[in-house]
Homo-oligomer: A and B are copies of this chain.
Amino acid sequence: MPSELRRPERAFTIRQLCVEFKCTPRALRFYEDKGLLSPARQGLNRVYSYKDRARLQLILRGKRVGLSLSEIREILELYAKGDGGAAQNAKALRKFRERIVVFEQKREDIDLALEELRTACARMEQMLADSRPDLLPSAEEYDKIVRARVDGPHEVRAH
């Protein structure tokens, strides 16, 4: 990550975060409505800190792996208040352990899916290689797919 984005004093407009993470202003305001974000204000305008940006990253990551916004909010809340009394902490610990179990299950689901997809691909490649090798997607085409990954924060360069 460019260290410039990590500087604690760095602030972002709603548009900047939207471009970087490929989402809409509406979505960010919606997350705020639901209590997942609470950026500062300059007048009416929202000002997102580096911490807000990190939270947003967690939110989108959670969404990609199939969590609902309320689940994400719960996790973020537990994660935020590391204090709040020992009893509260003990409850949070239990919930976190539950989450870990769920995530491990998700991981296994993904591994199973990947395995099936890969063997299916291998079968199809074999069939194509036998029948119509000219139709086999080229290696460069595969690279294009990989480079076009839509996931992480999109590098934003000065034009």
Contact = CB atoms under 8 A, between A and B. Distances in A.
Q: Is the interface of A mostly helix, strand, loop or mixed?
A: helix
Interface residues of A, number: 53
B145 A98 contact: yes
A100 B114 contact: yes
A159 interface: no
B109 A104 contact: no
Interface stretch (A4-12, A16-24, A85-93): A85-93
Contacts of A89: 124, 127-128, 135
8 contacts: A64-B106, A82-B124, A86-B127, A86-B128, A86-B135, A93-B136, A94-B141, A97-B121
A139 to B, nearest CB: 11
